[in-house]
Amino acid sequence: MNSLPDSSSIAPLSGNTASDTARVVRLAPESELRIEVEFGYSLTLKLIEGVAEVFGCEIIVGREYRFSGQKLGVFTWQAAGGADYVADDTPMPIFLNIHTALEQRRATAETMKTSGPRVVVVGAHDSGKTSLVKLLLNYAVRQGRQPMFVNLDISEGGVTMPGTVSAVMVDQPIYPEEEFGSLGLDLTAAGGSGAPIVYHYGFDTPNENTKLLQRLVGHLADTVTARLVEDDDARQSGLIIDTHGCADHNEFELLMHIIKSFSADVVLVLGHERLHSDLLRAFQQQPQSNISILKLTKLGGVARRDKSFRRQSQVRKIREYFYGHPGNCELSPFSLVVGFGDVNIFRVGEEHLVPSSALPLGADRKAGGTRLVAIEAGDILLHSILAIVDAAPRSASTAGAGDSTNESQTQDEEDFLVLANVLGFVYVSDVNSAKRKMTVLAPSATRLPSNRLVMGVFKWAETV
């Protein structure tokens, strides 16, 4: 195995909490130091000597890593000495075996000029799915591969914001502090397989609008497949797909849609025996399918995250999009004043926003739950996160047409925009309805790359 850890490791730990303390922890062979840092506290980790890793990413001797509001494990394959507050029931040897099997498939794909493994990681909520995804991606990168990471866990945000589905080629380590954030910094990168693919969903749970999410997943799968056709290295490296926790029938149906849309051939099930059985039963009824479904135990040390922790994680993700990671990759966003007449703002159609029981008797919906409808700019936008999406191209056959074609053209545009790639995000910090202007926070001082903005449910009261 090229560049995988095989030498001794001693991992020291220093904490900066309400009262600064520091201690040194010596890791035994194949043991793991598990760390939980609450929001409002910070911890500094430094490796003094040896070899250790976090989520499959090697940490550098002497470098300080700072964490806040995160849960992680520091693992070493080989070391000497005693241990203090260290777990020895780590599943890392199992994960290394999985990586080895995936690497064998990649080597075969490279020889045969075919596609590499398409892996979907599924399981219960808070079972360690994202941690396993990061580990497998980092191990693949350390082997010189360029796997495609697909994030379908809409509550997490993946490479950009919560409420999106996305995909990006990974050709560099995912560093423990930054997580996936550094992969999606340049959403407007022109062309190439390295540019992130991002679609806006706008909600933080699949059940808010399952029909729309399924449509976005299918479109993302088609786009990723087309992207891989153009890049042999990425195609042979394969896909690793992170998913939302599966807890009910609707989420199971969505999971089946994901597996089929991406033509997955490996499904890793974490901490969910019933889900494993249901998947086996579902694919046994499809004898033509060639898919491996593996059951894994829930990662040790994974703690259940309550609503408050999840919300704080989302707020941190939003803030890091504009300001970067403190002390590591800091950014300087800009405030722009935008006139109401200079942009067109949309949100998901009324099918989602108004339940059927609330409609007047005999009333029909004017917009479907998988389309966008235009809304008037105003106070409703205050503190909202707006996605900037590609503008729909205007058909030459309808350009300059009369009023009879305007409604149809608008409907076509709204339908197009729901599947349009996201170019970036802005935060609405102030709204002046009297002057018909709003102030937005944007990653750069240049004009917005598109005048089509899409509103979701996410709000953020900025505190710097």
Q: Per residue in 198-223, pLDDT tens?
A: 999 999 889 889 999 999 999 999 99
- Is 126 annotated as belonging to a binding site? yes
- Give 264 or 61, the one with higher predicted confidence: 264
453: left (phi over 0), alpha (psi -120 to 50) or beta: beta
Average pLDDT over residues 343-357: 66
Average pLDDT over residues 413-419: 78
pLDDT computed for residue 89 by the predictor: 61
Tokens 């710097």 correspond to what residue?
464
**What residue type is assigned to position 186 of the chain?**
D
* In contact, 11 and 33? CB cutoff 8 Å: yes
Out of 293-297, 305-309, 439-443, pick the least confident: 305-309
Q: In whole angstroms, what is the distance from residue 27 CA to residue 51 CA?
A: 10
Out of 9-13, 35-39, 225-229, pick the least confident: 9-13
- Is 273 annotated as belonging to a binding site? no
- Is 116 annotated as belonging to a binding site? no
pLDDT at 164 over 60: yes
**What residue type is assigned to position 445 of the chain?**
A
**Average pLDDT taken over every residue of the chain:** 80
pLDDT at 244 over 80: yes
pLDDT computed for residue 308 by the predictor: 77
Q: In whole angstroms, what is the distance from residue 426 CA to residue 442 CA?
A: 5
pLDDT band at 226 (very low <50, low <70, confident <90, very high): very high
pLDDT computed for residue 179 by the predictor: 67
pTM above 0.75, yes or no: yes
pLDDT computed for residue 62 by the predictor: 81
pLDDT computed for residue 72 by the predictor: 78
pLDDT computed for residue 28 by the predictor: 78
Out of 19-23, 26-30, 251-255, 339-343, pick the least confident: 19-23
- Is 129 annotated as belonging to a binding site? yes
Out of 104-108, 174-178, 342-346, pick the least confident: 174-178
Q: In whole angstroms, what is the distance from residue 123 CA to residue 285 CA?
A: 21
Closest by CA to 74, choosing from 26, 137, 143, is 26
Q: How far is CA 173 from CA 77, 176, 217, in A?
A: 19, 9, 26
Q: What angle do CA 451, 373, 442 make, to 5 degrees?
A: 30
- Is 128 annotated as belonging to a binding site? yes
pLDDT at 15 over 50: no
pLDDT computed for residue 6 by the predictor: 36
Q: Return the number of other C-beta atoms located less than 10 Å from residue 125's C-beta.
A: 16
pLDDT computed for residue 84 by the predictor: 37
- The three-state DSSP-derived secondary structure of 330-366 is ECCCEEEEEEHHHCEEEEECHHHHCCHHHCCCCCCCC
Out of 164-173, 176-185, 350-359, 405-414, pick the least confident: 350-359
- Is 313 annotated as belonging to a binding site? no
* In contact, 67 and 177? CB cutoff 8 Å: yes
Domains of the chain: 9-88 (2.60.120.1030), 92-296 (3.40.50.300), 332-459 (2.40.30.330)
The listed range with the strongest mean pLDDT (240-249, 391-400, 434-443) is: 434-443
Average pLDDT over residues 72-88: 56
Buried b (16+ CB within 10 A) or exposed e, 367-392: bbbbbbbeeebeeebeebbbbbbebb
Q: In whole angstroms, what is the distance from residue 426 CA to residue 441 CA?
A: 5
Q: How would you classify the pairing of strands 334-339 and 42-46?
A: unpaired
pLDDT computed for residue 119 by the predictor: 97
pLDDT band at 65 (very low <50, low <70, confident <90, very high): confident
